[in-house]
Amino acid sequence: MNFINKLFGCVLLSISVSSFANTETEIQHLLDYVATTTCQYERNGDLHAGLDAKNHINRKYEHYKDDIHSAEDFIKYSATQSTMTKKKYKIHCENSPAEYSSDWLLEELHRYRKTE
């Protein structure tokens, strides 16, 4: 029984580590996507370039890291709305209507997952 318990524990640890690595890869992709976009990120009525938006989102990510277990959690906690005003973040891209950042990032996450 002891061997089976150890084996089971190793399998669970392996799955957990793999899942964590995949989540981190997805989050890094989303941060890079924000940093390199030509779209503008709207926070509390002010427009920000991609790199500024990425830095802001990354600070929120570091703050909420213990609550984040998936790329969807990352979007929810770090890139959806202002913590203070609760105003939703929007994305403004040329020749497109503004959209909520959560929708924009979830769409990119789905595209990314299809390629992996």
Tokens of 102: 């959560």
Beta bridge partners of 48: 41
- Mean pLDDT for each consecutive 10-residue tract of the chain (116 residues)? 50 42 91 97 96 97 95 97 95 96 97 91
Specify the amino acid at residue 97: P
Q: What is the model's pLDDT at position 4?
A: 55
* Contact residues for 29 (Cβ-Cβ < 8 A; gap 6+): 108, 112
pLDDT number for residue 10? 40
Residue 116: the pLDDT is 76
**Four-residue CA torsion sign, 46, 34, 110, 59:** negative
Q: In this predicted structure, what is the pLDDT of residue 5?
A: 53
Domain ranges of the chain: 39-116
